Amino acid sequence: MTRSLVDTERGLISRRIFHDEAIYAQEKSHIFGRCWLFLAHEDQIPNAGDYITCKMGETPVIVARDQAGGIRALINSCRHRGNQVTRNDAGTAATFTCPYHGWCYDLQGKRVDPGTLVGVPNNESFYAGQLDFSQWGLVPVAQVATYHGLVFGTLDPQAPPLEEYLGDFRWFLDAVLGRGNLSVVPGTVRWQIRTNWKFAADNAVGDNAHGAVAHRSAILTMAKLRDQRAQFARGQEPGFTLLTEYGHGVNCKTGFAPPKDDAPADGFRLRIDPAFERWRNDPEFTAKLSPLQLKIQRFNGNVFPNLFLIDRLLVVRNPIGPHLTEIRAIALFDQNGTPETQLAEKRLAFQKFGPAGLYEQEDGENWDQATSGASIDPLQDEDLNYAMGLGSGTFVNDGQSPSRIDSFVNEYGQMWFYRFWDDAMKAGTWDELRRNHARPEGTL
């Protein structure tokens, strides 16, 4: 293949990256085997022995709280025959016993490290006591770390620390994850879409052009609910696009509409919107933020490769092959809210985004269709156009924020995502990637 897959000069992306099996195989090692991936929120596992299971790409993982209060991540595969040692989505346990031959692994780390093999049935007679338990524990995820309660893991021991990986994107995470006293809404939503995971990710990282078209019906519906006329922006809206090293990006809208507390009698949905804004009245929080961080109203962003952030949702788009993506969504709510707003936030967490979400229903339809379109044979050399705004996106580094472009509707985020994707696919090791990757400077 001589054509480049990502043409940053002209804003072109090859259709091949959305369906090609060989490219997907390389993504498994170079992207999902290497990057820091979102695993869980620490409030999902508050006590020793609490665990959830999830996937890092296609790799099944157990994320658990140990006796010392630390968070451990272990690959959910017995060292004897490879079975999953737990098949639950969540629970509480002291040990896991494989259902096939009974190899038993510690989970809480009371006397041994979590994941250590602590029992094999009839060990003395079957193995003559020769099995070295210390060598046959569950394989740990190479590195685990948290930021604002978000637990990330990487399968690559050479990956830089999470703080470096998130880098300047922490400026945005600080602005939105510190809003109030956030905890997790009970319930993890999971569903599958016949799409390549990148169509979901590139929508997350900065697609503000699709809203008025793809989500027109949802915008009309939300306006009707409020007895208002639907507002569709003409052209640009106030806001900025923050793009930081290692492929992270977010669009932030800065126009601030004061929250409305005059919800109509049956407007249960409406009570959630003021709830999102309560933090603005909390001086303890607002004092920590810069004027531009405080101006952020609405946002959609992506921690590379596949953590989508919108409202108070944390949404992972995990590939299961090039044509199928499993989405896992959890939601946060503000424990500082009134009992009523807390209840509203929990109950309506997935009403806008989620499989039944007024907005996200259309995304499923569109990404499915885009993935079909990407594999049309005679169009393999007809690249997709990601050139909106290309050539006029100048990075501003004026001290108000890390590297940003003062534009809200554009495709800079997408190109930024694919530049790093391309860098990661070409790099042989993390060291190489640390040296050779796009920096947020100059003009996109």
Where does this chain bind other proteins (CB under 8 A)? Answer: 87-92, 185-195, 213-214, 216-218, 220-221, 224-225, 266-269, 326, 331, 343, 346-351, 354-356, 358, 360-362, 364-368
Q: Which is nearer to other proteins, 35 or 93 (CB)?
A: 93
The Cα–Cα gap between 421 and 24 comes to 12
**What is the smallest separation between the CB atom of 100 and other proteins, expressed in angstroms?**
17
Residue length, the chain?
Answer: 444
The Cα–Cα gap between 152 and 41 comes to 9
**What is the smallest separation between the CB atom of 421 and other proteins, expressed in angstroms?**
24
**What is the smallest separation between the CB atom of 314 and other proteins, expressed in angstroms?**
12
CB 284 within 8 A of CB 175: no
Q: Which is nearer to other proteins, 86 or 154 (CB)?
A: 86
The Cα–Cα gap between 314 and 306 comes to 10
**What is the smallest separation between the CB atom of 53 and other proteins, expressed in angstroms?**
9
> What are the residues whose beta carbons fall under 8 Å from the beta carbon of 412, sequence distance 6 or more?
206, 241, 243, 249, 389, 393, 405, 444
The Cα–Cα gap between 274 and 90 comes to 32
Q: Which is nearer to other proteins, 90 or 142 (CB)?
A: 90
Q: Which is nearer to other proteins, 208 or 244 (CB)?
A: 208
Strand, helix or coil for residue 203: helix
**What is the smallest separation between the CB atom of 350 and other proteins, expressed in angstroms?**
6
* Other Cβ atoms within 10 Å of 51 Cβ, number: 27
Q: Which is nearer to other proteins, 179 or 271 (CB)?
A: 271
**What is the smallest separation between the CB atom of 334 and other proteins, expressed in angstroms?**
15
Beta sheet of 12-13, edge-to-edge order: 6-7, 12-13, 384-385
Q: Which is nearer to other proteins, 224 or 288 (CB)?
A: 224
**What is the smallest separation between the CB atom of 67 and other proteins, expressed in angstroms?**
20
Q: Taking CA 387 as the corner, what is the angle to CA 1 and CA 231, rounded to the nearest 5 degrees?
A: 140
Q: Which is nearer to other proteins, 6 or 358 (CB)?
A: 358
Q: Which H or E run includes 145? A: strand 143-147
